[in-house]
Structure 1
Amino acid sequence: MTDTTREAMEYDVVIVGAGPAGLSAAIRLKQLDPAREVVVLEKGSEVGAHILSGAVLDPVGLNALIPDWKDKGAPLNVPVKEDKFFYLGEGGKVSVPTKLMPPMMNNHGNYIVSMGNVCRWLAEQAEELGVEIFPGMACSELIFDEDGNVKGVVAGEFGRNADGTEGPGYEPGMELHGKYVFLGEGVRGSLSKQVIERFALDKASDVQKFGLGMKELWEIDPAKHSPGRVVHTMGWPLGSNAGGGSFIYHLDNNQVYVGFVVHLGYANPHVNPYLSFQQFKHHPYVKDLLEGGKRVSYGARAITEGGWQSLPKTAFPGGALLGCAAGMVNVPRIKGNHNAMLSGKSAAEAAHSAIESGRSRDVLEEYDRDVRDGPIGKDLKPVRNVKPIWSKYGLNASLALGGFDMWTNRFGFSLFGTLKHGKTDAQATEEAAKHKVIEYPKPDGKLSFDRLTNVSFANTNHEESQPSHLKLKDPDIPVQVNLPKYAGLSQRYCPAGVYEFVKDESTGKDRFVINFQNCVHCKTCDIKDPTQNIVWTTPQGGDGPNYPNM
């Protein structure tokens, strides 16, 4: 907290984040009571600018929220027509029969979408109902009342100098107060992280696990394009170095999403997720698809992978965690947007009932119960063991045992019970001396690209005169600990080239450099850093990536 005096605005519900969860909550609140005062605050320059997702969308959440979405023109234009799963070797592939997979893995009835465009459409629906949406308004601080309950947020602070002092054009921002505050910041949200720690929301849950998802949008040869085709792969080039896999989704206009996910629980600090992604595109199957095409956009985002056993309590004094802020991704289905929308709808209904009965700033226990006992819990619980099996025993065991467990969970039981994840992704990192250096092919500039070139296709931008939003708890740790012990892994796990170690010409000593202007807000550094020394905070509003169709 600071002593800065700010203007304050009062609302019934303040929502942080204009993603599928936050916008669904706003829409549902207005559906229940058109007079309800609702505001949505979005750190991106516009709604959708910071949205990065696969995405194959299960419309169950949209069906529940806006049943006539087709008539209203929702941008769900490419229904899934075929599913393909491949196990890759370096030079070939083996098809995994879809008939062997549990029915929940079938994408029939789902749609290949740009979630950025879906969120832009949801924002239009919300504004038509009277929701106030403010893009470019980063929420930098929580506000608590005299009882310690969350009262609101500070949003829209601009104009600090690089050293943190107030510049000549400093704007202190505003306080936005609510009877309830919903945090829909997405994965590893800075305010959500504070709330979880302050109220010990995760004391009864397992550690959270994460993956790093990287994605490119390509325009390809029309002769190779098959709208509605969904392809997932496992295996090469990751091998035993890390868990993960890829997705290739054929949308409309001769475009495909090419994505790659690396589980962040890998032990070898020499792993470079970004270069693994670039290497993947040289597999004969992928190379044949992309040759003659062109990359249009690039982005990266962390993914919550802990699932059912890692869910924190989703309600806290004064508000609720929505969607990926709590971690509602179904890992084997690679889907979380439907649960995000369902969580927003459920939180809105709980807050509406509470406000109607005269309550405010208490714990919405009914929301937390619905998350666990309702459709979200029913989606997450049956697949809860796939991720820990994969992490502990590898890909092949996950395919066999995880698939078996999902089949038995159809009948309401599991031979494994509920498995634990064990270590956090930061704790899983081992010393560099225990592992071999991994040699990655150099990007060719046609199918594969160096990081800085690709980051330019994320359209990311940060005002350079502001303080770095990437904070070090101890500025000496990168050079004194992470470089000698972990071979400076931050220069490899970051998919945007933010971190580097350089030799100081005058002293010959190593120096840690943070190029925060490159940041695409993936949050990997906040998650994977083995000393947990890097803290991701919000830059001023509007800064960061600007994804057009991702």
Structure 2
Amino acid sequence: MERESMEYDVVIVGAGPAGLASACRIRQLNEKISVCVVEKGSEVGAHILSGAVFEPTALNELFPDWKARGAPLNTEVTGDDIYVLRSDETSIKVPNLFVPSTMHNEGNYIISLGNLCRWLAEQAENLGVEIFPGFAAAEILYNAEGAVKGIATGDMGIGINGEHKEAYMPGMELHAKYTLFAEGCRGHLGKQLIEHFKLDADTDPQHYGIGIKEIWKVPTDRHQPGLVLHSAGWPLNQSGTHGGGFLYHLEDNQVVVGLITDLAYSNPHVDPYGEFQRYKHHPVIRQYLDGGQRMAYGARAIVKGGLQSLPKMTFPGGLLIGDNAGTLNFAKIKGNHTAMKSGMIAAESVAEAIAAGRNNAELTNYSTKYRNSWAWKELHLQRNFGPAQHKWGNILGSAYAFVDINLFRGKLPWTLHDANADHAQLKPAADCKKINYPKPDGILSFDKLSSVFISNTNHEENQPCHLILKDAEVPLNHNLPIYDEPAQRYCPAGVYEVVEDAGGKRFQINAQNCVHCKTCDIKDPTQNIVWVAPEGGGGPNYPNM
């Protein structure tokens, strides 16, 4: 069966904040431009996970009347607490005077990004955008001149050995004058585009963290709507890695709690999931969770390299936008507003090109527009924050950031760099201290499989594995003897196991558990694991992450 094709002016891959903001803005600028959005999740928002404290700057520009339209920004920030957790029992609350200005949240909102994306999708559809959830973009299409001309969605109904099942349906080709890739952090097509067009030739390696998050329903007497809490230190400092925790009070007695572990860690015994479970037992955190009930769980990689790691975002026929490029402002721990702005600037460039009759060209004016925007200026202001954290750790790095950002407003005449890729940081397991993580108590801490269960993750089991090993021998012959196969620990969903039975040891991939966090694609020390999109609709189904 041959693939059918459909023609649009613009195809957008990913119904996240960047993709949907871009779709809305294009139609606001020119309602004659046809736009479609493909989304691999079963519905818009199903794969969206973010903290999230939301800065409404871009939303104010896109829909100035968002309040009247019913945007789900219901809980304005009422207070900021920042702690240094010194041990499993002790802590220091940081006075506001010494907090980097980027961490102040006056005027921001605590939201569910998934629900905001659902609302943005409604606005986009009202503007005439076509949105296709449940269809994964699986292939980049190029024209004879080498420009991107669209994407093909993945085939449906392929069996585990590649055979066509009875319900087989070939993918659809979506051709466009311009294709915008808004897949979020470590998008699998974005990764291919960066390599194909050498978009990162003049940048530092991209850097990442793994964010793990839960939603809790807590007793009224423990709930403080609008309270934002961030922390650094324990437990990650005990494991020789960096990162930090967060706890935000939403509406309806909901509290979100999470931990971001920097993926530049060197000890292969580190288990980010285990670190998060320990984190919830600290008195500063458990005071809000005691007596509560865990409602949801999820995990997602976070792009954090900043300006020095930002690839070229333009290529013939399209753009990388949002976290697919790396526009997150890690000094703020926020990327949704900057992702939206990158998409809105993309919309302006695309609309201008189509109006001028330029199709499948390179939108070079986008680079100028983006550089002149407040989004780029934000990244420039905080450019030294991430490298300083890697170089000197959370505490000294934050002290440097206070001087750089608060006192000099990012105008110090140098730029710090971190040229070491995260996956290259691991040391041999024999040279590192083993970490004994406490057994989950079933009250505050839980095992991985029960967590995956409440992420509502599901994949069609009889399909090819979407976690591809370039060399099937590497996990047991290289990673296991040198690094004690770290995939067993860095995956927050229990996807990878080294199993020993009568036939000896074997490397087992439980692809059904995958929550699409992309950590394996980032942290595998030999870059042997490649994450590709599974059959459309597979993966987590987050209700309001």
User: What's the TM-score once normalised by structure 2's chain length?
Assistant: 0.98
1-structure distance, mates of 2:59, 2:264: 33
- Structure 2 match to 1:249: 248
- Structure 2 match to 1:33: 30
Does structure 1 conserve the Cα–Cα contact (< 8 Å) formed by 2:100 and 2:401? no
Render the CA deviation track for 1:256-293: whole Å, top value 9, x for unaligned: 00011000000000001000000011111212211110
Q: Is residue 56 from structure 1 mapped to residue 53 from structure 2 by the alignment?
A: yes
Question: What does residue range 395-410 of structure 1 map to in structure 2 within 5 Å?
Answer: 395-410=394-409
Deviates further, 95-104 or 5-14: 95-104
Deviation at 1:365, TM superposition (A): 1.2
Which amino acid in 1 is paired with 2:326?
A: G
Deviation at 1:395, TM superposition (A): 1.7
Render the CA deviation track for 1:230-249: whole Å, top value 9, x for unaligned: 00011001115210110000
- Structure 2 match to 1:377: 376
Moved over 4 A (4+): none
- Structure 1 match to 2:484: 487
Render the CA deviation track for 1:494-518: whole Å, top value 9, x for unaligned: 000000000131x3x2100000000
Which amino acid in 2 is paired with 1:39?
A: C
1-structure distance, mates of 2:542, 2:318: 29
- Structure 2 match to 1:309: 308
- Structure 2 match to 1:360: 359
What secondary structure sits across from 1:427 in the alignment? Answer: helix
Deviation at 1:209, TM superposition (A): 0.1
Which amino acid in 1 is paired with 2:17?
A: P
Does structure 1 conserve the Cα–Cα contact (< 8 Å) formed by 2:245 and 2:259? yes
Correspondence for 1:135 among 120, 126, 133: 133
- Structure 2 match to 1:431: 428
Does structure 1 conserve the Cα–Cα contact (< 8 Å) formed by 2:207 and 2:263? yes
- Structure 1 match to 2:177: 179
1-structure distance, mates of 2:121, 2:408: 37
What secondary structure sits across from 1:14 in the alignment? Answer: strand
Gaps of 5+ in 1: none
- Structure 1 match to 2:161: 163
- Structure 2 match to 1:466: 463
- Structure 2 match to 1:504: 501
- Over 3 Å counting, the alpha-carbon distance change for 1:408 and 1:203 in structure 2 is farther
Render the CA deviation track for 1:429-468: whole Å, top value 9, x for unaligned: 1111110111111110110000000110100000000001
Deviation at 1:369, TM superposition (A): 2.2
Deviation at 1:483, TM superposition (A): 0.5
Deviation at 1:409, TM superposition (A): 4.1
2-structure distance, mates of 1:492, 1:102: 33
What secondary structure sits across from 1:458 in the alignment? Answer: coil
Does structure 1 conserve the Cα–Cα contact (< 8 Å) formed by 2:500 and 2:506? yes
- Structure 1 match to 2:63: 66
2-structure distance, mates of 1:98, 1:370: 35
Deviation at 1:155, TM superposition (A): 1.2
Which amino acid in 2 is paired with 1:442?
A: K
- Over 3 Å counting, the alpha-carbon distance change for 1:18 and 1:443 in structure 2 is same
Correspondence for 2:109 among 104, 111, 115: 111
Deviation at 1:78, TM superposition (A): 0.4
2-structure distance, mates of 1:519, 1:512: 16
2-structure distance, mates of 1:32, 1:396: 46
What secondary structure sits across from 2:47 in the alignment? Answer: coil
Deviates further, 259-268 or 147-156: 147-156
- Structure 2 match to 1:97: 95
- Structure 2 match to 1:456: 453
Which amino acid in 1 is paired with 2:39?
A: E
- Structure 2 match to 1:16: 13
Q: Is residue 537 from structure 1 mapped to residue 532 from structure 2 by the alignment?
A: yes
Correspondence for 1:221 among 216, 219, 222: 219
Does structure 2 conserve the Cα–Cα contact (< 8 Å) formed by 1:312 and 1:326? yes
Which amino acid in 1 is paired with 2:355?
A: E
Does structure 2 conserve the Cα–Cα contact (< 8 Å) formed by 1:136 and 1:156? no
Root mean square deviation of aligned Cα:
1.0
Deviation at 1:166, TM superposition (A): 2.4
Q: Is residue 394 from structure 1 mapped to residue 393 from structure 2 by the alignment?
A: yes
Identity of matched residues, %: 54
Q: Is residue 264 from structure 1 mapped to residue 259 from structure 2 by the alignment?
A: no
Which amino acid in 2 is paired with 1:170?
A: Y
- Structure 1 match to 2:85: 88
Deviation at 1:376, TM superposition (A): 1.3
Correspondence for 1:196 among 176, 188, 194: 194
Does structure 1 conserve the Cα–Cα contact (< 8 Å) formed by 2:101 and 2:402? no
Does structure 2 conserve the Cα–Cα contact (< 8 Å) formed by 1:15 and 1:40? yes
- Structure 2 match to 1:350: 349
2-structure distance, mates of 1:414, 1:510: 54
Does structure 1 conserve the Cα–Cα contact (< 8 Å) formed by 2:342 and 2:375? yes
What secondary structure sits across from 1:162 in the alignment? Answer: coil
Does structure 2 conserve the Cα–Cα contact (< 8 Å) formed by 1:79 and 1:109? yes
Does structure 2 conserve the Cα–Cα contact (< 8 Å) formed by 1:382 and 1:409? no
Which amino acid in 2 is paired with 1:105?
A: M
2-structure distance, mates of 1:346, 1:429: 38
- Over 3 Å counting, the alpha-carbon distance change for 1:31 and 1:133 in structure 2 is same
Deviation at 1:103, TM superposition (A): 3.0
What secondary structure sits across from 1:194 in the alignment? Answer: helix
Question: What does residue range 287-298 of structure 1 map to in structure 2 within 5 Å?
Answer: 287-298=286-297
2-structure distance, mates of 1:151, 1:332: 36
Correspondence for 2:543 among 527, 534, 548: 548
What secondary structure sits across from 1:344 in the alignment? Answer: helix
1-structure distance, mates of 2:484, 2:401: 34
Render the CA deviation track for 1:332-373: whole Å, top value 9, x for unaligned: 210000001101100000000001001011111111222233
1-structure distance, mates of 2:203, 2:362: 18
2-structure distance, mates of 1:341, 1:396: 31
Deviation at 1:148, TM superposition (A): 0.8
Does structure 1 conserve the Cα–Cα contact (< 8 Å) formed by 2:316 and 2:361? yes
Deviation at 1:408, TM superposition (A): 4.1
What secondary structure sits across from 2:422 in the alignment? Answer: coil
Q: Is residue 527 from structure 1 mapped to residue 526 from structure 2 by the alignment?
A: no
2-structure distance, mates of 1:494, 1:527: 11
Which amino acid in 1 is paired with 2:524?
A: D
Does structure 1 conserve the Cα–Cα contact (< 8 Å) formed by 2:102 and 2:331? no
- Structure 1 match to 2:232: 234
Does structure 2 conserve the Cα–Cα contact (< 8 Å) formed by 1:216 and 1:297? yes
2-structure distance, mates of 1:298, 1:32: 38
2-structure distance, mates of 1:491, 1:441: 17
What secondary structure sits across from 2:151 in the alignment? Answer: strand
Which amino acid in 1 is paired with 2:12?
A: I
Render the CA deviation track for 1:120-149: whole Å, top value 9, x for unaligned: 000000000110000000011111000111
Deviation at 1:156, TM superposition (A): 4.5
2-structure distance, mates of 1:375, 1:219: 37
Which amino acid in 2 is paired with 1:294?
A: Q
2-structure distance, mates of 1:368, 1:488: 41
Does structure 2 conserve the Cα–Cα contact (< 8 Å) formed by 1:44 and 1:135? yes
User: What's the TM-score once normalised by structure 1's chain length?
Assistant: 0.97
What secondary structure sits across from 2:221 in the alignment? Answer: helix
Q: Is residue 7 from structure 1 mapped to residue 4 from structure 2 by the alignment?
A: yes
Gaps of 5+ in 2: none
- Structure 1 match to 2:273: 274
2-structure distance, mates of 1:399, 1:535: 34
1-structure distance, mates of 2:456, 2:100: 39
2-structure distance, mates of 1:75, 1:357: 37
Render the CA deviation track for 1:270-329: whole Å, top value 9, x for unaligned: 001000000011111212211110000000000001001100001111100110000111
- Structure 2 match to 1:318: 317
Q: Is residue 334 from structure 1 mapped to residue 333 from structure 2 by the alignment?
A: yes
What secondary structure sits across from 2:454 in the alignment? Answer: helix
